Amino acid sequence: MKFLIRSVFISMWLVMLFAICIACTDDKKERDISQIRVAFKLFRFDLEFARTEPEELNRLKLEYPFFFPEKVPDSIWLAKLNDGLQKELEREVARVFPDNDELEEELRSVFQHIKYYFPEVKLPAKVVTTTSEVDYRHKVIWTDSLLVLSLDTFLGSENKLYEGVYDYIKIGMTKERIAPELGMEFASQIIPSINRPTLIEAMVQEGQKLYIAQQLSPGSSEAILLEYTDSEYNWTQANARFVWEYFITNDLLFSTEPQLYNRFVAQAPFSKFYLDMDRESPGGVGKYLGLQIVNSFMDRSETDLKGLLTTRPEVIFNKAKYKP
């Protein structure tokens, strides 16, 4: 009995020591990342537009030509300067983002992590914030030289201006989603797309994007990454085995049926098993499983983030040996 207790104690001690070593390594890595120098300028077009007088419109057009398509007449912009909804959007953005400190800190951190993992990548030298009439489908526009951030899509899920927006979409419209959104947009640009993927390929590819986004914004929980409430995340954790068995029993994993993406991977109010439990489930449960598969693969291999990009989803799936 004494030997058993001693063995258990030693095992617990070793586990704790291993966890402490990992934490120390992670802390050192984050300290190193925080010292990486990145250069960018933040421009608050949203604030400048809000303060613009009609006679100053031409100046603004010269400074931000990418926001003013030639085909759109000045009368449209002049009307927008005095539009009630636009003014309310501007007030809410100014209230939630009163200065640049928090934004610059988020941007710098994501850029530093990108430089750490992908030193050859050219980062945007200019970041411009704007309002987009709550266009939540295009929160971030990322190019080599310019990053556009629509701040009116990050005002908080309970914001009065989001009345009429579906609840499952509003979950991801918070300040906490800025860093993950940047990470997801970056990952989407560097991960090669797959023509007519199987369900498992689509799931793993989403898992790759989420994994990269999490490395670029390590303070973000999986629930925030997946745009889930805590209860939705807990449901998915508790029912992961059922979902996995459902996919296997119905021979869905290697099917290329396009509707499977909409049923189980795309953002949606709920996943579509065509069972009574559908309304209890969050949308995109396949993304959760895809992330767990990638987590398992990375734990079992010595692959770095660059290697993850070039590893085909079917290889990741086979080597992960994932079993919920």
Domain boundary among the residues 169, 190, 210 is at 169
Higher-pLDDT residue of 27 and 55 is: 55
Q: Report d(CA 172, CA 165) in Å as an integer.
A: 11
One domain for residues 129 and 226: no
pLDDT at 78 over 50: yes
Q: Are strands 41-44 and 140-142 parallel, antiparallel or unpaired?
A: unpaired
pLDDT at 20 over 60: no
Mean pLDDT of 184-198: 94
Residue with tokens 């997801």, as numbered in its chain:
184
Contacting residues for 101 by C-beta, under 8 A, at least 6 apart: none
One domain for residues 265 and 165: no
- For the record, the structure tokens of 32 come out as 């190193």
Do the domain assignments include residue 130? Answer: yes
One domain for residues 212 and 314: yes
SS3 267: coil
Q: 101-146: per-residue pLDDT in tens?
A: 999 999 999 999 999 999 999 999 999 999 999 999 999 999 989 9
Q: What is the pLDDT of residue 17?
A: 53
Do the domain assignments include residue 208? Answer: yes
Percentage of residues of the chain with pLDDT beyond 70: 92
Crossing angle of helices 240-249/230-238, nearest 10°? 50
Point out which residues pair with 150 in neighbouring strands.
130
Q: What is the pLDDT of residue 19?
A: 45
Do the domain assignments include residue 63? Answer: yes
Spacing of C-alpha 21 from chain mean position: 28
- Contact yes or no for 239/232 (Cβ under 8 A): no
N-terminal to C-terminal alpha carbon distance within the chain: 34
Do the domain assignments include residue 14? Answer: no
| Lowest-confidence region among 14-18, 85-89, 113-117, 172-176 | 14-18
Q: How many CA atoms lie less than 13 Å away from 240 in the CB half-sphere? A: 15
Do the domain assignments include residue 253? Answer: yes
pLDDT-based confidence at residue 36 (cuts at 50, 70, 90): very high
Percentage of residues of the chain with pLDDT beyond 90: 90
Residue with tokens 């953005």, as numbered in its chain:
93
One domain for residues 251 and 209: yes
- Contact yes or no for 247/199 (Cβ under 8 A): yes
One domain for residues 156 and 255: no
- Measured in residues, the chain has a length of 324
pLDDT at 290 over 50: yes
Distances (CA, A) of 144 to 123, 148, 299: 6, 11, 32
SS3 221: coil
One domain for residues 159 and 112: yes
One domain for residues 218 and 162: no
One domain for residues 208 and 309: yes
Q: Report d(CA 103, CA 153) in Å as an integer.
A: 14
Q: Is the dihedral of CA 86, 88, 92, 94 positive or negative?
A: positive
Domain total in the chain: 2
Enclosing domain of residue 103? 41-169
Do the domain assignments include residue 226? Answer: yes
SS3 126: strand
Do the domain assignments include residue 182? Answer: no
Average pLDDT, the chain: 93
Q: Report d(CA 76, CA 83) in Å as an integer.
A: 10
- Contact yes or no for 294/207 (Cβ under 8 A): yes
| Lowest-confidence region among 5-19, 91-105, 239-253, 268-282 | 5-19
Q: 45-76: per-residue pLDDT in tens?
A: 999 999 999 999 999 999 999 999 999 999 99
One domain for residues 111 and 63: yes
Mean pLDDT of 268-276: 96
One domain for residues 308 and 250: yes
Q: 241-269: per-residue pLDDT in tens?
A: 999 999 999 999 999 999 999 999 999 99
One domain for residues 159 and 259: no
One domain for residues 48 and 131: yes
Do the domain assignments include residue 13? Answer: no
pLDDT-based confidence at residue 27 (cuts at 50, 70, 90): confident
